[in-house]
Structure 1
């Protein structure tokens, strides 16, 4: 087992109240697996990613739970030990919006080299040579080590950020919306690049996106998040071919299909709940067309409906 998250709670303490951005989330990830995390904007996907790499921005705090990475509880590690031993060496991250992730006043080579100089104690010259090799690995001209971010296109910047995340060959990479603001052609190139690198380097990936079609393309397992909680998790085949939670069904049925016969597209009425005062019981019940008596009173437990396929819904818990 590479990563095991149990009962993770990350809250933001604001002047208006406590925002329960990630509330009692748990999942497991094996070596070499790709986990896709999907859900609407504001459901807690990115906060989950920042919690795993321990970079939750203030006023956010991890207030409960356990994150076990390669057998060690990384939430109990002192910050300096985590920075030296785990962050970037064990778990790295492709941040959302490469345009904002790169420093405009340094060359991309310097920004990749900094990681190598800090963690592997390379000289500046050795680190720049390694940076050039990393750029080549992600399909860029090695001479781009001397380029500044403003001299690169959106897709090229995204490749630089991927190269930076892979600099220390970590066993786990978190990709937070890696294709945001890119056109469909570049999106496909970036996803093909991630698939190739995952296969060659045998690394695990947590892919965070609201695009179900991207997850279908690359993920082995799928976790569906809603209002700070995972409502369904299972293998890609099971979740896409037999979605159990009404929210998962609506997400999948909102996507036009090219291969199947024409179907009526679904939409989800209403808006996601306020996470300062989430609705009682199942958090999806105000928008659910299958709502019945216990949904608005009690929170549904996570139950295994078929091997490895879990759902938190009273439609199945009552059985």
Structure 2
């Protein structure tokens, strides 16, 4: 079996058996396609540790970051573990493939007062009735209130909201479903969007087919992830002094501010939809203010 045939089968396994997200599956496919091209697509059994090490070395020489190299190494190790489990290779050649240590970057966190000022200003601007402004206010409020991923936000339908209970049902990575709460400011922004603005944008659609999406663009179609990135950059970027700022900054900020408020780490894990508590722990490093305050209150020689 050629390695290209095996990688195609593996990607199908990831998509339909493990049910990984389309974005994750594309990333696996890209990494494995690069390996196929670099190795010349030999028989799967011809792959050995030296071929894999050469592949990683050439990627390093062309300037791939440590995080990219680590991800690609993990992809190949997962692929060959799968192949060995199905007896497609006599031994797993990737067992001794070492990945460079990833430098874990700290997430950017916007100050709570800065976020409050931006959201309040946007709500004031939206009082004039501009549908795009009202939509942007609802998008930012919901991202910050729930800490949901941008893909989860864009996938929301109107029926996923329970406005009486102030909760949203989201589908996260691996098709895992969870229910996240949101507060009164987000509820008010969503009400304004749904009642005063969303119908105006839906009226611009070329067809009269029903639109289930909670958030829509200026032409009435479902709001895409690129558009949400643009909203966050335009509305929040200047306030925090960054030219480019993605929706994940609001996810990071929500997690950090909830921890600062005294929430349990497990609760934050559930809010964010992390499969592992270790992923959530990265947010504890930005909660130094809470730690310092507790130390000064508790330590006898503080």
* TM-score, normalised by the number of residues in structure 1: 0.23
Larger-Rg structure: 2
Q: Which has the higher contact order (CA 8 A, sep 6+)?
A: 1
* TM-score, normalised by the number of residues in structure 2: 0.24
Structure (1 or 2) with the greater strand fraction = 1
